[in-house]
Structure 1
């Protein structure tokens, strides 16, 4: 931990601060003294528990935890065992999740699921709840969608990835689906993170727009602490509700992949907000080292009631997969 000191502290005041730190963090190594102090301790949970007290000590201007101090569990979690869920050969980290933004009705979803599997998807987007900016927008079909998910899983043999928007939905999603998704809007919903971790199922965690790597991994830390280390990190850009010329944060993908053994995938559909820009964003993510993609794709992209403008048609999805295969050779 780095402690920035208030300007003008006398040596005696710094000594008193060091003594108090030694009292709060027994055995910690303290270094520095002019302008800042560096604190090293292996007791990371104690450090987190005492942080508020340290910040309030006389002479402390601000504190900053190193990434390994803030997120020790997320940084040391082993790669999750996802081969059986995503029907992959051992050692193949590539994950391809595809489907309409949300399930709209049984017939269209089952048709989409079958055709996406035939095209090469190894998991299905299976949203029945959708957090929307406007209360008048389509919110998802709700619990009746679980029976449709069951039929799609039996028909295709593919895993279902379903977003939770409330703690009350977790039990039903865990029974019906294979991966619980925490969307970008809920990355900082800590009670939802605790609830999502409790069943011990894999969780796909999207980065919230504007979130730093530390903030993203702190949300992953909640998941590990409260019940699951089976985590997939998903980068989705920094914009909501409109096309964004910035697209995916490719640097964030590289930094997350370097910091943790957890798989890092990308959602170019939401990052681009425009189906014409999705393929380029998807390929850029793969070149940046992404372990997979989450794509909105459907045979009925032109008539989708939600996110149609960023949903790939089946021909476009098939072309993109051919380009991805070439890139992965």
Structure 2
């Protein structure tokens, strides 16, 4: 249930209402929008009538029930779009709302100091604001490269010190969360852990923004309910990442990139939505086209894999762009981003423009 106050409701009225509602054994969440203040009610409201709540104050405009199972993630509960702000040495990066499109780029796995520093410098020069790189890697086979762990976190920290880029990296186990959160500016939950509810609760209890990737076979409702676990644990800064799903035809691509999920999610949730065309296709030759399509359809950001030498990558080489290819993709994206009224964040910051 949500309580929408009339424009101009005094803060004192809001405080009194929150106190009364909490006295009914309900949790409250106050959302201050551009025009209205909304008080969300969390708890058992089944026996509570809208009329009873309406009578609490003449400043109440309307009382509505949130019918969706994902309460905190829904547009009904939180009418204003969430903007996740990530501080960096180059200035804050805003993800969400109707602002510029953020770009995260880097290798699947951190392999060496020289490799991650070179990649970080090249993706920054091309216009990325956030460096992606795996320290811990979930792999289908137990014999595949699993990442270097804590030493790789140290290399990510060195790359941030050298470039000022923010860091996004994946957590697989709650025992590693503290070490990862010390380095990461965004904590990533990968597709294989989207429904690891114990881990979702843990990342929800720490303050860093959380990037939640869609599981291979997850419905949109399941994905949003996974986000709800993080929100319910206290962390409001959740970013959703569409990274492709498994369908009946996997002959020509690794996954099926579900781009229609972007406008669908924008109709259902206030949370930012980004697209990963690298995992979504699994082949570098399709990353440019799918990145352009994602920008045109309304994504808030992109996550693109870049490696200095994809043929020698320890993981996911076929889907990685070279730094030169990434630069070309960024140049191709710039006019499309401007045409939809959401330029790339690098363009607003005086970054590289198309050749």
Q: Which residue of 1 aligns with 2:56?
A: none
Matched, 1:87 2:92: yes
Pick the aligned partner of 1:303 from 300, 312, 335: 312
Runs of 4+ in 1 over 4 A off after TM superposition: 240-243
Q: How many residues align?
A: 271
Pick the aligned partner of 2:112 from 105, 110, 115: 105
The answer as to whether partners of 2:84 and 2:94 remain within 8 angstroms in 1 is no
d(CA) in 1 for partners of 2:159, 2:195: 31
Q: Which residue of 2 aligns with 1:69?
A: 68
The answer as to whether partners of 2:120 and 2:159 remain within 8 angstroms in 1 is yes
Provide the aligned C-alpha RMSD in A. Answer: 2.4
- Unpaired runs of 5+ residues, structure 2, are 1-39, 47-64, 339-355
Matched, 1:126 2:133: yes
Deviations 1:200-250 (A, max 9, x none): 210000111221111111011001111211011100111399852763111
d(CA) in 2 for partners of 1:242, 1:140: 28
d(CA) in 2 for partners of 1:124, 1:139: 19
Mark the CA change 1:89 to 1:130 in structure 2 (over 3 Å): closer, same or farther: closer
The answer as to whether partners of 1:297 and 1:312 remain within 8 angstroms in 2 is yes
Give the match's secondary structure for 2:125. Answer: helix
Superposed counterparts of 1:12-161, under 5 Å: 45-46=43-44, 68-75=67-74, 76-77=77-78, 78-82=81-85, 84-85=87-88, 87-88=92-93, 92-161=99-168
Which structure has the bigger radius of gyration?
1
Q: Choose between structure 1 and 2: higher helix proportion.
A: 1
Q: Which residue of 2 aligns with 1:258?
A: 267
Q: Which residue of 2 aligns with 1:5?
A: none
The TM-score normalised by the length of structure 2 is 0.71
Q: Which residue of 1 aligns with 2:285?
A: 276
- Unpaired runs of 5+ residues, structure 1, are 1-41, 49-65
Superposed counterparts of 1:165-180, under 5 Å: 165-180=172-187
Matched, 1:213 2:220: yes
